[in-house]
Amino acid sequence: MGAVFSLKLPTAKGPFPVGCTDFMIDHTKEGSFCRLYYPCEAGGQSRQPLWIPRYEYCGGLVNYLNRSRWSVPLLNLAFGYHTVPVGWNAPFRAEEKYPLIIFSHGLGAFRTVYSAICLEIASHGFIVAAVEHRDESAACTCYYRTADGDVEPPPGATCEDGSSSTGPISTQAAQPGLKEVWLPVRKLETGEEEFPLRNKQLRQRVKECGQVLNLLTDINQGNPINNAFLGNLCPSVLKDCIDLQRVAVMGHSFGGCTSVQAVAEDARFRCAVALDSWMLPLSEEMCSKAPSPVFFINSEKFQTEDTIRKMKKLQSGNDKIKIITILGSVHQSMTDFTLLTGDLLSLAFETKGTIDPLEGLEIIQKAALAFLQRHLDLPKDFNQWDSLVEGEGDHIVSGPPPLT
């Protein structure tokens, strides 16, 4: 039992302490929902948010995995106590401009599932916005309606500049007059072709990434923003602190594919980092285009012949597209689940490979930072890890994984 309770998300190693908050701008299904990780002021006490923000997400995961509803309380027992080692609504460090990363989650995930990667990148001087998609690819997500239909809620959400309270907290408390609506994952129907559905979802996901970038652009310009959530970090503290000339998009699995399409369609994204990208939703037409720089970081055991073909087709004739593989890793090695599951759950859901989970995530983080410096022209020292981008080092090889 002791080993179970030793499982936790690692604290950030970068020079900046990290805070986080949630923004839901436009409470309707068409609005933007994201978790923001950001450099915060050092010192003081602040609460740590629960990793699974609401019990409903346990139900969403069980539904996505086609498990019995009786598994929901068991999943909550296994994961419900975990916290994210960041300061919830901690005071923003408004002393410089920070580059921005928009992060897109995978199929059956949600905005908090990649907390370890997001908070580590934020600790190196980035603002990271983890989108929770409403294309019905999340395990579940929520939006709000008013009692009188989808009209504006009453104004006046309060702002916070930090908290001296201690202890983990659940992080969704909406403004008065809003009724919560939960949106479950959309599963394939019997006999349904997958590509049309996933390509449609892909287009919506790219739109949602752009919407979050629009939102943060408004915030950076000082435009008034009405957050549907009460008591969260006041958006106005971010004014003039987002470097909109240095914006990238990043994601895992379906989110990796989303990042590839987003960087090809939206010139505001200067580069993309695609973690074990699920390439099925990407059209052949898109694969024939030469997108901006893309960094494919693959696990050893997920990719198929068709998805590797698409990666190579994109890379053909484009030296700004890099592909590496982390040996001993599996698809879930790039999620928080690899850190929070013990041996039994790992066997059941293949959340761990043969590589140490912390070592695998460290390779991802350092390689991504080196790539971001290269293509965002960052005045940092991340180029010390340039060899990883070229597939040189322990536990990595250049190119896609070999098929067996």
Q: How many residues does the chain have?
A: 404
The three state secondary structure string of 106-122 is CCCCCCCCCHHHHHHHH
Alpha helices (runs of H) in 269-380, residue ranges in sequence order: 284-287, 305-315, 337-340, 343-349, 357-376
Cα–Cα distances (Å) from 336 to 1, 42, 331, 346, in that order, read: 20, 25, 11, 12
Cα–Cα distances (Å) from 118 to 214, 361, 365, in that order, read: 20, 11, 9
Taking the C-alpha atoms of residue 57 and residue 179, their distance in angstroms, rounded to an integer, is 18
Residue numbers annotated as active site: 253, 276, 331
- Token pair 């599951």: residue: 341
Alpha helices (runs of H) in 140-193, residue ranges in sequence order: none
At 337, give phi and psi (nearest 5°).
Answer: -60, -30
Please enumerate, as own/partner, the contacts of 380-388 that have beta carbons within 8 Å and a separation of 24 or more: 380/124, 380/125, 382/124, 388/324, 388/363
Look at phi and psi of residue 317 and say left if phi exceeds 0, alpha if psi is from -120 to 50, else beta: left
Query: Coil, strand or helix: which one is 149?
Result: strand
Taking the C-alpha atoms of residue 350 and residue 16, their distance in angstroms, rounded to an integer, is 33
For 284, counting Cβ atoms within 10 Å of its Cβ (0-12 exposed, 13-18 middle, 19+ buried), the class is exposed
